[in-house]
Structure 1
């Protein structure tokens, strides 16, 4: 984003970075290069958490609720990372919730009816084959819609609105509206729960690895800046970013490890693993849930795809100026097809998480998820005008949306009132985005 301010002479520090003008706070943000928009989202989310915690009588900011919050936000977070790129190219996908429901139903039928007949129940390959079928199907649906948009020049709004109706109806036709359950034992691990979590020790290992990744990323970025002669951040700024980032990661791991299995599940766990049940019971921390790890892994991959690959650069080039991108030799139509195929694959992964968490596939699965996904991307800073958006912002947006839902449930608010609040938040987010971009011009 270009900042149209009057340039003033700046002196170089010992690290090679330019001294930032303005007040100390502005100098701090310029030295650390923290995205103030994302920081504002974090502050807003913390304010929402504190507000709900007070209004719910201390129920919101508990390890149990935050653990559930992370699991519930996983499927929307996965789809929101793809929706960012769709909106960046000035398109929209209204069919993601229906694709989730249809693909989830196909995966459920595959692992409960077809695969057991061929391989037997609880075959080790059942969950993988069902997931593979879902991802292939989701990619095919997305590519089909993308080809209509790209080669027949039908607006994405109309194509995906039709997809919303078609795939929702197709989900019903697969089983005539019947619920399909239960899922394969291994497949259910993708939904979280007592068995679908990695435990305290593994969670701390993941946290330490994440901190090492953060430190190595900072060192690599500094090395690249020096290599190409770019101004370096002050050393203190690197330390601040690294310490705060690692603190957030380890703090989140500590919170998730603070949630213990309910007594009945802990007793079953002890019986299954031959652990003697003590008089005072067992405190078995759940740790990070597998769907959360999946969502974080998808976010990392999508961030790399967005920032470090030719495909990502093409997506933002198309969103910034489609005509210029076409003249520059970018095959914009095929980029669009691949983008919607990627969106379909992400819907399939989200369907696997959702189906595994419910341990069933229902006809209503994914209803209104398209609105939550779009809202997460927009709240996360993705501009509906195209060309601007971040994966991290979409993940934060998904957390904000789920925080609102979770908080309103704890307060006992009726479903219609919850919809009103979500709608108002979405409109407010777009209005704030409009103001932000008007000031940045």
Structure 2
């Protein structure tokens, strides 16, 4: 008891001597690296807003930015677990392309022969086929890495070549189009969005979830005797989270349908065309909701399940994890199986967005996925990484790419910039880890 009282007095004395900024971060427990990424994102946005003459921070561009980020963000959530265990997956872009081609052929050529064109189950069966294909490829990679002892770099480098070639052989290089109308909803667009009312409902539910999560965490800390954040810090975190969610919904609802599509909708539904035009908000896009759902599920897996604890234990010290009784080989197989399934989900988003399965689909996505995870704070040395950080990293990468497109910068120069950003991110991670020791 005396030790506890002394510890409390020491903490109070230390808090009194700290400057207000340090005290704020300690009380709210905000990850300073994540905050640094948000700061870098804001700098990127402001810079492109000025250099593009006000074109970057428009509802249209920001809405498109979230949709374009979705597929890479989904894969980045799995890449975190791969890199945390000191592995790498260079094949994700090729697996995406192969799964996309398999799903394209399934819904355009195979399933309609048995179910009929336009059958309501085609999109679901197509997605299931893609998930099984992606998971099987990932499991194959994992088995070779875990049980044959081949380094993940070599296995997935081979996978990059093998599955890209296999994508071509599925249709002999031909593009498959169009996709099933329901399947296309996963790509976004005017029909692939949930509208203003549903978006506000999603936003309010998300705010309630944030408040519930803060209250639940506080009760759990009290239950197990862990130190709790000050009440004002809980209010700050809840307020900031809700403002960000509602701000996102506001932006999504500020982007309206194109005039020609809105006019066709009005004519089809016998709606009088107003003088200023019919303003129909897009709302949140379906692929964005899919990416958010993937992030939530992967966060739960990595932080709340035994499997997630095993992943970080292996990344921290593989030998100790083996001695502790963790079946490290099978954990590795499951990680790569999960990565393959996430590639299939990303392939569904990409294929639906393009309304076609192409031979070049997913090229260089492995670069953007790895870069997103590393920029998001996942250490290549293993043992450290967050799902939220990787998704934010994907958003940073897409912001850079979108801004360069608006400026008319050539594709080769865009790749140079992305490569430089990746190297800088790894260097900053090295510096951060050296200072943390």
Shared fold per TM-score greater than 0.5: yes
Q: Decide whether the 8 Å contact of 1:20 with 1:30 is kept in 2.
A: no
Q: Decide whether the 8 Å contact of 1:17 with 1:233 is kept in 2.
A: no
Q: What's the CA shift for 1:269?
A: 2.4
Distance between the aligned counterparts of 2:20 and 2:306, measured in 1?
38
Corresponding residue for residue 317 of structure 1 = 313
Q: Decide whether the 8 Å contact of 1:326 with 1:332 is kept in 2.
A: yes
SS in 1 for 2:209: helix
Corresponding residue for residue 160 of structure 1 = 156
Q: What's the CA shift for 1:70?
A: 0.2
2:255 paired with 1:259? yes
When residues 257 and 327 of structure 1 are mapped into structure 2, their CA distance, relative to the original with a 3 A threshold, is: same
2:220 paired with 1:224? yes
Distance between the aligned counterparts of 1:274 and 1:413, measured in 2?
44
When residues 272 and 346 of structure 1 are mapped into structure 2, their CA distance, relative to the original with a 3 A threshold, is: farther
Corresponding residue for residue 38 of structure 2 = 42
Corresponding residue for residue 98 of structure 2 = 102
Deviations 1:173-207 (A, max 9, x none): 01111100000000000000000000011101000
Corresponding residue for residue 364 of structure 1 = 360
When residues 212 and 102 of structure 1 are mapped into structure 2, their CA distance, relative to the original with a 3 A threshold, is: same
Q: Decide whether the 8 Å contact of 1:145 with 1:340 is kept in 2.
A: yes
SS in 1 for 2:408: coil
Corresponding residue for residue 295 of structure 2 = 299
Q: What's the CA shift for 1:268?
A: 2.2
SS in 1 for 2:128: helix
Corresponding residue for residue 177 of structure 1 = 173
Between 1:20-29 and 1:421-430, the stretch displaced more is 20-29
Work out which of the residue numbers 322, 335, 350 in structure 2 matches 1:326. 322
Work out which of the residue numbers 58, 63, 83 in structure 2 matches 1:62. 58
Gaps of 5+ in 2: 1-5
2:390 paired with 1:394? yes
Deviations 1:312-357 (A, max 9, x none): 0000000000000000000000000011000000000000000000
Distance between the aligned counterparts of 1:369 and 1:431, measured in 2?
22
Distance between the aligned counterparts of 2:39 and 2:415, measured in 1?
23
Distance between the aligned counterparts of 1:9 and 1:24, measured in 2?
21
Q: What's the CA shift for 1:20?
A: 6.8
Q: What's the CA shift for 1:10?
A: 4.8
Deviations 1:366-421 (A, max 9, x none): 00000000000000000000000000000000000000000000000011111111
Work out which of the residue numbers 367, 376, 399 in structure 2 matches 1:403. 399
Q: What's the CA shift for 1:429?
A: 0.5
Work out which of the residue numbers 18, 33, 51 in structure 1 matches 2:47. 51
Higher helix share: 2
Distance between the aligned counterparts of 1:336 and 1:44, measured in 2?
33
Distance between the aligned counterparts of 1:86 and 1:59, measured in 2?
37
Distance between the aligned counterparts of 2:16 and 2:388, measured in 1?
26
Distance between the aligned counterparts of 1:188 and 1:212, measured in 2?
31
- Paired residues in the alignment total 432
Corresponding residue for residue 127 of structure 2 = 131
Distance between the aligned counterparts of 2:353 and 2:419, measured in 1?
26
2:95 paired with 1:77? no
When residues 20 and 66 of structure 1 are mapped into structure 2, their CA distance, relative to the original with a 3 A threshold, is: farther
Aligned Cα root-mean-square deviation (Å)? 1.4
Distance between the aligned counterparts of 2:267 and 2:355, measured in 1?
23
- Normalised by the length of structure 1, the TM-score is 0.96
Q: What's the CA shift for 1:18?
A: 8.3
Between 1:379-388 and 1:225-234, the stretch displaced more is 225-234
